[in-house]
Amino acid sequence: MSPTAQRQKRNGADDLPPDVDLDIEDEAAEEIVEPESIPTGPEVAFTAIDWTPHAGDADGMVGAEVIQTFVKRLPNQPGVYRMMNAAGDVLYVGKARSLKKRVTNYAQGRFHTARIGRMVRETATMEFVVTRTEIEALLLEANLIKRLRPRFNVLMRDDKSFPYILLTGDHVSPGIYKHRGARSRKGDYFGPFASAGAVGRTINSLQRAFLLRSCTNSFYENRTRPCLLYQIKRCAGPCTGEISHEGYAELVAEAKDFLSGRSQKVKTEISAAMQQASEELDFERAAIYRDRLAALSHVQAHQGINPQTVEEADVFAIHQEGGQTCIQVFFFRTGQNWGNRAYFPKADPALEPAEVLGSFLAQFYDDKLPARTLLLSQAVQEQELLAEALSTRAGRKIAISVPQRGEKKDLTDHALQNAREALGRRLAETSTQARLLKGFADTFGLEKPPVRIEVYDNSHIMGTNAVGAMVVAGPEGFVKNQYRKFNIRSTEITPGDDFGMMREVMQRRFSRLLKEHGDGQPGPTVEDEAGEEDLVAGNGGFPAWPDVILIDGGQGQMTAVRQILADLGVEDRVVAIGIAKGQDRDAGRERFFVKGRESFMLPVRDPVLYFVQRLRDEVHRFAIGSHRARRKKEMVKSPLDEIAGIGPGRKRALLLAFGTAKAVSRAAVEDLIKVDGISEHVAKLVYNHFHES
């Protein structure tokens, strides 16, 4: 038997033709699956099918015809498939217990919903990944959906990481910190918390209760007397020996017990210590214990509902209304409620809640550790498979259930109520935003309400650290992941020349837009025969091209902007509107500049005027914040940063040896060589940088 045939037999693909190679080491597998992006846990191996139709097999074909060319060569094995259009954009990512059977369903071209029928019609090619088990296929599917964001999948719109509380374990006196991101530092992590604010409030209360330090290790090592936190009873002062290492270790152990769910034990011990101090007439020590007890009560009082029988669980509830979906998530750890967060995934309105929630859960835990118990408001598709997949990833048993009675049912009902209320607020806000966009279109003579509005502004001080800013708004409000800042680079612009800065911003923005989305059609939505809206893909369905750009400036700014748009040939693709500040810079007296019309003002109490002012205020905030960040970076910049070959380590060594960069600039080569890590060659580089002759 040939090596190829052996590989086919090993992968259970005896029915495939000899030109199909299922080699595990195939380069195609490396292109489709990025090992570092696969969730941590037991090793998962994937096998790729490296197959392309023979020349002419799929020439000019789309839809069910092109899918049929793949069916006869697919194995009856689990795996993941990707459907792509003619431009190479991924339309849909799915997993299957049998690739052959699943793709056959698409190839029939009938009995499809409007959404699936449209997806099939747009399909020009497909790619496949064969996995050993259906669990691996489920994990890979979730990973690819999050990374590729296909248009026809259920998509998470908010994928920010959750904050945790970290008790460090790499120092003799552990500290307590807010942590977000990879858990690379040694220590104990407690969470997740729903928001950074919840973590901050909890840490403040824990500092009052357990007197743990929150300073950096370098700050700790250089203290000669206690800091202010010790004076206000937020720290025990281990840095200067105000408490012994043994005593501080006891405080750390108590904090771990409290965060691990043994809060009643900790409170009982502190209460007993307070009573003993009182009996010994040591009222000062008793008062310290009293304050610690009060701080612990404050922590628990601000956790909301705290279940009595649920130690660790994540609670999910889903509610659909008005074509939108809300999924509310509550986190319970150590018997305490650590907050909640509402998600509004992008999903087709025709999808059932069970399908949306199941897809959401797989993506949600793609890079997070699940609780031991997941409580759902309703059953999801392939619930047992999902539980097994999450258990495989987490390395421990994960149970998924839909409670029918008792306290767990109360928790899911409470989450469902919050989901209803959150979606109700969102629908009200969306309705208000829709009315404002319609009023905006009527006011400025647009054919239809805009879907993407871009607002631009510059910020600088006498031309220094100049920054251009762009904020984006749409039907659901500000789209912050589309914000951009532009560090002004041109050396030909006179410092303080706002016209020149805006020209550079417009040139860079629309040149790149033409390069990356030159074929994308601007404007809002297009409805197909099924009534579904299709947005020009810019980010998860949001259009890349703006319908309107608002410029914070008058006629001069608009002349510069229109000239750039005309030079790039996009003047007719977007509507440019200028907003000049009113007399004495008073809000409400703004004057607007639109091509083909005389400049005009809006009534002081016009809702559209308030809407535009809010857009302008947001771009001001973003521009000023970006400018301040750049200015702060410039202020701490050292002349040593400009020397090639001087990295952070050598820079630190030079500053420790000489004190300041100015002293380094005056040092002789012989003195520089004496510094650890500075060779004769590097010493000459440093010396020559400061001495041109």
Q: Is the dihedral of CA 682, 683, 687, 692 positive or negative?
A: negative
**Residue at a domain's end among 591, 612, 633:** 633
Are residues 487 and 567 both part of a single domain?
Answer: yes
- Using DSSP's 3-state secondary structure scheme, residue 110 falls into coil
Claim to verify: residue 85 and residue 41 sit in the same structural domain: yes
671: CATH: 1.10.150.20
Say if residue 287 is in the same domain as residue 326. Answer: no
Confidence at residue 315, expressed as pLDDT on a 0 to 100 scale: 94
What contacts 604, CB < 8 A, 6 or more positions away?
588
> 100, 117, 148: which is the final residue of a domain?
148
Q: What one-character-per-residue DSSP string does 280-307 give?
A: TT-HHHHHHHHHHHHHHHHHHHTT-S--
73 and 31 fall within a common domain: yes
pLDDT at res. 402: 94
State whether 619 and 554 are in the same domain: yes
157 found inside a domain: no
CATH number, domain containing residue 95: 3.40.1440.10
Q: What residues pair up with 458 in beta bridges, in sequence order?
A: 468
Task: Mark which of 237, 266, 301 sits at the end of a domain.
Answer: 301
Pair 79, 137: CB distance under 8 Å: yes
- Residue 234 CA to residue 252 CA, distance in Å, equals 14
Q: Is residue 432 part of a domain?
A: no
The pLDDT, as a whole number, for residue 223 is 85
Look-up: residue for tokens 């300073």?
215
Q: What is the pLDDT of residue 338?
A: 79
Q: Are residues 393 and 500 in the same domain?
A: no
Q: By residue range, what is the domain housing residue 417?
A: 313-425
Sheet of 125-131: strand order equals 46-48, 125-131, 79-84, 90-96
For residue range 608-640, what is the model confidence (pLDDT) as tens digits? Answer: 888 888 898 898 888 888 777 777 666 556 677
Inside any domain, residue 624: yes
For helices 283-301 and 263-279, what crossing angle results, to 10°?
160
Tell whether 49 and 106 lie within a shared domain: yes
pTM, whole model, 2 decimals? 0.66
3-state SS, residue 13: coil
Beta strand 533-534 with 526-527 is antiparallel
pLDDT at 527: 36
Phi, psi of 295 (to 5 degrees): -65, -40
What is the layout of strands, in order, in the sheet containing 176-179? Answer: 176-179, 164-168, 187-190
Residues 625 and 659 in one domain: no
Q: Pick from 471, 450, 410, 435: which is nearest to 606 by CA?
A: 435
- E strands, 176-275, are 176-179, 187-190
Residue with tokens 């810079």: 585
Q: Residue 58 domain-assigned? A: yes
Ranges under pLDDT 70 in the chain: 1-60, 109-111, 158-160, 261-264, 295, 297-308, 461-463, 496, 519-541, 582-588, 632-638, 692-693
Which tokens hold the place of 187? Answer: 């220590």
Q: For residues 561 and 626, state if they share a domain.
A: yes
Sign of CA dihedral 579, 583, 589, 593: negative
| Residue 446, domain member (yes or no) | no
User: What type of residue sits at position 576?
Assistant: A
| Structural domain count of the chain | 5
Integer Cα distance of 177 and 298 in angstroms: 19
**Chain CA centroid to CA 663, Å:** 44
**pLDDT value, residue 189:** 86
Output the pLDDT for position 528: 36
Sign of CA dihedral 546, 548, 550, 556: positive
Residue 255 CA to residue 265 CA, distance in Å, equals: 11
* CB-facing half-sphere around the CA of 43: CA atoms within 13 A: 1
Do 602 and 670 fall into the same domain? no
CA distance 317 to 340: 11
The token pair that represents 193 in the structure block = 């918390």
Query: In Å, how far are 184, 314, 392, 441 from 40, measured between CA atoms?
Result: 13, 20, 10, 49
Instruction: Examine the domain organization and report whether 617 and 485 are in the same domain.
Output: yes
pLDDT, mean over the chain: 79
Same domain, 619 and 676: no
